Amino acid sequence: MAHINLRRSTRPSKLGFSVLVLAAIMWTTITSLIPLYVSQSDFNIGNTKDIAAVVTLQNAKKSLTSLSVSYILPAGLTRKRATQSVTNRQTTASCLTQALGAAKGSINVTGIGSAAATTTKGRRRRRDIQCDKTDRPGVAIIFDVALGYPEDLPCQTLACQVDLFTGIHGQFNTVSDVSITADDGTPLPVQLCHVESHTDGTNNNPQSSSGIAIQPCTVVCQNGGACTGPTTCGCTTEWTGDTCETPVCTSGCQNGGTCTAPDTCACAAGWSDATCETAVCTNHCQNGGQCTAPDTCTCAAGWSGATCTLGQ
């Protein structure tokens, strides 16, 4: 049987040539678009180290974009069915921008919610906010914040965007007193409670809502306590009771002693010490005797008498 040798063409097929042309066009288009979004100072197409730097900046920007900021409402105010409300996100964003001295348009409020707030030493329920910026418990108003970079700023590089967002985070963490305008136009002074960054760029705050309503408290919370409901108080760790009127003595007061101030006992006659556990003998016990009850000595072996002064 005869064999036929077919010569392989050295010219590329039309399909292969078309693929090469398409790939070249795509690469040219991509590289031409990069300067529109990334400045030349941030990106150099011939340097792989610059590519890695751009990716790092992009990740940094994403991690700084979303955060939740909690503020304690003034003492005597609480959430629910109320005479005052905070629902206007644009107005709230303007108040935060002014308080922080941030660039106009850089702070956007995407949600407004509320939750009970405790201090770092207080008991905390699952949905409570634990304040680490103040030692005052109460009710917190929570703002979900999305940062944006204004297009009218002279520097539009990724590095400048990261610098701006980093600065805003720093201001959120340090500016403690902020005034928010309620829907009726009255100022509402609030105090910084907690700042939480959402590094993945998303905010899943369960307390987020379209706004909150607040009303005056009907009870007076004492000794640093704050209203957490129309008739309830959230007390500091040193006080308890309906209106935080009762001091707390951590170790208790023994032998009839009374807690008169936080960790301060007023002892009954015949007892002393921080928790009233030490008996007092007006006439000291002698010769190794021990005062074991008010004016009562337990004598060492070989001694007797009220103050252990009689030898046996």
Query: The domain that contains 309 carries what CATH number?
Result: 2.10.25
Which of 186, 209, 229 finishes a domain? 229
pLDDT at 224 exceeding the cut of 90? no
| Whole-number average pLDDT of the chain | 80
pLDDT at 247: 94
pLDDT at 19 exceeding the cut of 80? no
Q: Which of 21, 90, 82, 87 is closest to 227 using CA atoms?
A: 82
- Pick the range with the lowest mean pLDDT from 32-46, 62-76, 78-92, 132-146: 32-46
Question: What own/partner pairs with CB < 8 Å and gap ≥ 24 does 28-37 have?
Answer: none
Q: Which residue type, as a one-letter code, is found at position 263?
A: D
- pLDDT tens digits for range 281-302: 999 999 999 999 999 999 999 9
Longest dimension (CA), the chain: 139
* Inside any domain, residue 130: yes
> How far, in Å, are 7, 11, 18, 127 from residue 14 at the CA level?
18, 9, 6, 65
Interval 109-121 mean pLDDT:
80
* Inside any domain, residue 250: no
> How far, in Å, are 41, 67, 199, 200, 224 from residue 119 at the CA level?
46, 20, 24, 27, 12
* Inside any domain, residue 19: no
Task: Name every residue whose Cβ is closer than 8 Å to that of residue 215 and which is 6 or more positions away in sequence.
Answer: 77, 78, 80, 81, 82, 83, 84, 230
pLDDT at 16 exceeding the cut of 60? no
Task: Judge contact between 238 and 248, C-beta under 8 A.
Answer: yes
Whether residue 154 is found in the same domain as residue 224: yes
Which of 168, 202, 229 finishes a domain? 229
* Inside any domain, residue 42: no
pLDDT at 299: 93
Which pLDDT band, with edges at 50, 70 and 90, does 276 fall under?
very high
What tokens does 132 get? Answer: 């680490």
Q: What are phi and psi of 219, to 5 degrees?
A: -120, 160
Number of separate domains in the chain: 2
Interval 270-289 mean pLDDT:
93
- Pick the range with the lowest mean pLDDT from 31-35, 72-76, 181-185: 31-35
Task: Name every residue whose Cβ is closer than 8 Å to that of residue 58 and which is 6 or more positions away in sequence.
Answer: 158
Which of 188, 203, 229 finishes a domain? 229
CA separation for the pair 276, 292 (Å, rounded): 13
Q: Which of 76, 115, 84 is closest to 217 using CA atoms?
A: 76
Helix (H, G, I), strand (E, B) or coil at 58: helix
* Structural element, H or E, at residue 169: helix 158-174
Whether residue 159 is found in the same domain as residue 301: no
Q: Which domain holds residue 160?
A: 62-229
* Inside any domain, residue 28: no
* Inside any domain, residue 194: yes
Helix (H, G, I), strand (E, B) or coil at 168: helix
* Inside any domain, residue 266: no
CA separation for the pair 299, 287 (Å, rounded): 8
* Inside any domain, residue 248: no
- pLDDT tens digits for range 65-94: 999 999 988 766 654 444 568 889 999 999
Whether residue 162 is found in the same domain as residue 82: yes
pLDDT at 139: 81
The whole-model pTM stands at 0.57
Q: Which of 44, 28, 61 is closest to 156 using CA atoms?
A: 61
